[in-house]
Structure 1
Amino acid sequence: MASTTSERIFTLDVIRGVAVMGIFSVNVIAFAMFEGAYFNPGAYGGHTGADLFLWAANLVLVDGKMRSLFSMLFGASTLLVIERAEASSIPGAATHIRRMAVLLLFGLAHYYLVWFGDILVGYALVGLVAFLFRRRPAHQLFVLGCLFIVLNMVLFSLLVSHMIQLDHAAHATGATAEQVRGWNDFGRMFYPFPTDVAKDLALYRGSFGGRLHEMVTVRLTEPIRGTLFFGWETLGLMLLGMAAYKSGFLNGSWDDRSYRKVAGWCLGVGALAFSALAAADLASRFYVPTLFGGFLVATGPFRVAMAFGYAALIILLSRRMGPWSQRVAAAGRCAFSNYLGTSIVAAFVFYGWGLGLYGHVSRFEAWLLVPLVWLAMLLWSMPWLERFRYGPFEWAWRTLSRLQLQPMRKPLPT
Structure 2
Amino acid sequence: MATTTPAGLQRFTSLDAIRGVAVMGILAMNIYAFATPDPGYTNPAAVGDDTGGNVLVWLLDFLFFDSKMRGLFSMMFGASTLLVIERALAYGLSGAKVHYSRMVWLLILGLAHFYLIWWGDILVLYALCGMLLFFFRNLSIQALRRWAIGLLIVSALYFGSFFGSAALMRAGVVEPPAAMARAIVEMNDKFGPHSPDVATTRTLYRSDYRTIAGNRIFEKTAEPFAGFMAFGWETLGLMLIGMIMFKSGFFTGQWDSARYRKWLIACWGVAIPANLLLAWYQLSDGYSGVSTLFATLVLSMPFDVMMAIGWAALVILVIRQARYARLDARLAATGRMAFTNYLVTSLVMTTIFYGYGLSLFGEFHRLALQLFVLAMWAAMLAWSKPWLDRYTYGPFEWLWRSLSRWRFQPMLRRAPVGGA
Report the counterpart of residue 93 of structure 1 in structure 2.
96
Residue of structure 2 aligned with 1:34, choices 37, 45, 68: 37
Report the counterpart of residue 125 of structure 1 in structure 2.
128
Could you tell me how far 1:195 is from its partner in structure 2? 4.7
Task: Name the Cα RMSD after superposition.
Answer: 2.3
Report the counterpart of residue 250 of structure 2 in structure 1.
249
Could you tell me how far 1:200 is from its partner in structure 2? 1.0
SS of match in other structure, 1:99: helix
In structure 2, distance between residues paired with 1:140 and 1:153: 20
Write the deviation string for residues 255-297 of structure 1: whole angstroms up to 9, x where unpaired.
1111000011101211111111111111111122221112222
Letter matched to residue 293 of structure 1 = F
Residue of structure 1 aligned with 2:116, choices 113, 117, 123: 113
Report the counterpart of residue 148 of structure 1 in structure 2.
151
Could you tell me how far 1:413 is from its partner in structure 2? 5.5
| Equivalent pair of 1:259/1:312 in contact (CA under 8 Å) | yes
Q: What does 1:320-359 align with in structure 2 at a 5 Å threshold?
A: 320=321, 321-359=324-362
SS of match in other structure, 1:8: strand
In structure 2, distance between residues paired with 1:413 and 1:88: 25
Q: Which runs of 4 or more aligned residues in structure 1 lie more than 4 Å from their structure 2 counterparts after TM superposition?
A: 2-6, 164-169, 178-181, 192-195
In structure 2, distance between residues paired with 1:290 and 1:184: 12
Could you tell me how far 1:192 is from its partner in structure 2? 7.2
Write the deviation string for residues 209-250 of structure 1: whole angstroms up to 9, x where unpaired.
101111112211111111110110100011110011011111
Write the deviation string for residues 41-93 of structure 1: whole angstroms up to 9, x where unpaired.
12113311111111111101111111111100100000110111012111111
Taking structure 1 as the reference length, the TM-score comes to 0.94
SS of match in other structure, 1:118: coil
Report the counterpart of residue 400 of structure 2 in structure 1.
397
Q: What does 1:175-190 align with in structure 2 at a 5 Å threshold?
A: 181-190=182-191
Change (3 A) 1:4 1:113: farther
In structure 1, distance between residues paired with 2:81 and 2:223: 25
Report the counterpart of residue 297 of structure 1 in structure 2.
298
Report the counterpart of residue 312 of structure 2 in structure 1.
311
In structure 2, distance between residues paired with 1:96 and 1:39: 35
Could you tell me how far 1:185 is from its partner in structure 2? 3.2
In structure 1, distance between residues paired with 2:238 and 2:175: 40
In structure 1, distance between residues paired with 2:254 and 2:167: 47
SS of match in other structure, 1:322: helix
Letter matched to residue 59 of structure 1 = F
SS of match in other structure, 2:191: coil
| Equivalent pair of 2:39/2:195 in contact (CA under 8 Å) | no
Q: How many residues align?
A: 410
Q: What does 1:122-271 align with in structure 2 at a 5 Å threshold?
A: 122-164=125-167, 181-191=182-192, 195-271=196-272
In structure 2, distance between residues paired with 1:232 and 1:389: 35
| Equivalent pair of 2:31/2:373 in contact (CA under 8 Å) | yes
SS of match in other structure, 1:251: coil
Gaps of 5+ in 2: none
SS of match in other structure, 1:217: helix
In structure 2, distance between residues paired with 1:272 and 1:155: 25
SS of match in other structure, 1:40: coil
Report the counterpart of residue 412 of structure 2 in structure 1.
409
Write the deviation string for residues 290-309 of structure 1: whole angstroms up to 9, x where unpaired.
21112222221111011111
Report the counterpart of residue 23 of structure 2 in structure 1.
20
